[in-house]
């Protein structure tokens, strides 16, 4: 089904409100992912390289987590404008190949979706609604579908 202007507004509005607490947000997303799927930690090279540094002090962690928020938001805007998920900086082919190379599988995408939604809900409880959840879910799912298309070994 089509992504509506209302859905785009819900995603953009909540992302703008969340940005102020960006550091906290990034850490929370990672912690939530690893709470649900502890073994996913092994996938991230920058976490393994620095086992002596606590998670909340890892300089790369925040930036990486925020990328997922920002790209999902960007995906929402493009879904409405162009009818398909696209991302700016790194193209989808690179993203797909990267995630394939690092061993990311279907279940990981579901864990991250769940963690993302929970993190947003906790960040903007006063805005949260079933419509907002639906909008973020759709934006994320479409972006993931586009990434996955590029994750096939032959792609
Ligand atoms: C790397 C975005 C889902 C695991 C990256 C990078 C981006 C990104 C942009 C490259 C960061 C950089 O090197 O600058 C996304 C988006 C996702 C998504 C937009 C979903 C919509 C996932 C999932 C997993 C995952 C579900 C598995 C839990 C990784 C790993 C890396 C990575 C392991 C490499 C980290 C490293 O350099 O060691 N992701 N990602 N990603 N992503 Fe994702
Ligand atoms: C997926 N890809 C890159 C970074 C991430 C950070 C947190 C959760 C998922 C991620």
Write out pLDDT tens, residues 49-62. Answer: 656 778 788 878 88
CA of 99 to the centre of ligand 1 (A): 6
Nearest ligand, measured from the Cα of 61: 2
**pLDDT for position 56:** 80
Q: Taking a C-beta distance cutoff of 8 angstroms, is the pair 105, 19 a contact?
A: no
Q: Name the pTM for this structure.
A: 0.93
Indicate whether residue 139 lines ligand 2 (CB < 6 A).
Answer: no
Q: What is the ipTM of this complex?
A: 0.96
Question: Is the CA virtual torsion 96, 101, 106, 112 positive or negative?
Answer: negative
Higher pLDDT: 119 or 64? It is 119
The residue whose CA has the least distance to atom 2 of ligand 1 is 68
Nearest ligand, measured from the Cα of 26: 2
Higher pLDDT: 147 or 22? It is 147
**pLDDT for position 135:** 96
CA of 122 to the centre of ligand 1 (A): 22
- Position 81 pLDDT exceeds 60: yes
The C-alpha torsion from 129 through 26 and 74 to 91, rounded to 10°, is -140
CA of 98 to the centre of ligand 1 (A): 8
Q: What is the mean pLDDT of the segment spanning 8-35?
A: 92
Residue 67: Cβ within 10 Å count: 14
Indicate whether residue 147 lines ligand 2 (CB < 6 A).
Answer: no
**CATH class of the domain whose range is 5-149:** mainly alpha
- Position 84 pLDDT exceeds 70: yes
Q: Taking a C-beta distance cutoff of 8 angstroms, is the pair 77, 6 a contact?
A: no
Distances in Å between the Cα of 100 and the Cα atoms of 81, 94, 139, 147, 152 are: 28, 10, 21, 10, 8
Burial profile 112-124: b = 16 or more Cβ within 10 angstroms, e = fewer: bbebbbebbbebb
- Position 155 pLDDT exceeds 70: no
Q: Give residue for tokens 């960040």.
A: 123
Listed by start position, the domains of the chain span 5-149
Write out pLDDT tens, residues 108-128. Answer: 999 999 999 999 999 999 999
* Ligand 1 pocket at CB < 6 A: 40, 43-46, 64, 67-68, 71-72, 90, 95, 98-99, 102, 104, 108-109, 112, 140, 143-144
């Amino acid at each position: 089904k089509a992504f509506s202007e209302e859905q785009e507004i819900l995603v953009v509005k909540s992302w703008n409100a969340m940005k102020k607490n960006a550091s906290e947000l990034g850490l929370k997303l990672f912690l939530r992912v690893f709470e649900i799927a502890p073994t996913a930690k092994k996938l991230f090279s920058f976490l393994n390289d620095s086992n002596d540094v606590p998670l909340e002090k890892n300089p790369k962690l925040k930036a990486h987590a925020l990328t997922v928020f920002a790209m999902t938001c960007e995906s929402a805007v493009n879904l409405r404008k162009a009818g398909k998920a696209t991302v700016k900086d790194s193209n989808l082919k690179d993203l797909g190949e990267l995630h394939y190379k690092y061993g990311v599988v279907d279940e990981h995408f579901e864990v991250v979706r769940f963690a993302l939604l929970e993190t947003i809900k906790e960040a903007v409880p006063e805005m949260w609604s079933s419509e907002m959840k639906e909008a973020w879910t759709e934006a994320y799912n479409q972006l993931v579908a586009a990434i996955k298309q590029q994750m096939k070994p032959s792609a």
